[in-house]
Structure 1
Amino acid sequence: MSNLKIRKKAIIDKSKCVACGSCIKVCPLGLISIENGIFAKIDTDRCVGCGKCKKTCPASVIEIKEVV
């Protein structure tokens, strides 16, 4: 049995993000910002992978991934 803890994190495909800001409004921890007016950025160190940003993203560029 492994002692590694698997967590979920939101990951944004920056090349397809339209910087609309929808994800910022729904993040319960306030961990998303728009970088240089070009794409959204998530503080992945603190993200809990709740998926609210993914559900609201009109461009479907956010994935929830398992990370160790």
Structure 2
Amino acid sequence: MLVIATVKVLSVLLRRNYFALVIETAGTPRTALVSADANLVDQLVVSIMDAIDNPQAALSMQVENFR
């Protein structure tokens, strides 16, 4: 049982972290982006917040799509 518990703990610790950009409206929340790159998600959040604060701002970002 100790071996099984150790394997489970190691699998959780070695698992890759994913970060999600979730758009919440009055309806159902929608996941817009999932990435292993936290900086990419952070940059996109800041860009979206800037565009909301300043409607005249241009928002353009290219994200690779993998399925």
- Same fold, TM-score > 0.5, yes or no: no
Q: TM-score, normalised by structure 1?
A: 0.31
| Structure with bigger RCO (C-alpha 8 Å, 6+ apart) | 1
Higher Cα Rg: structure 1 or 2? 2
The structure with the largest strand share of the pair is 1
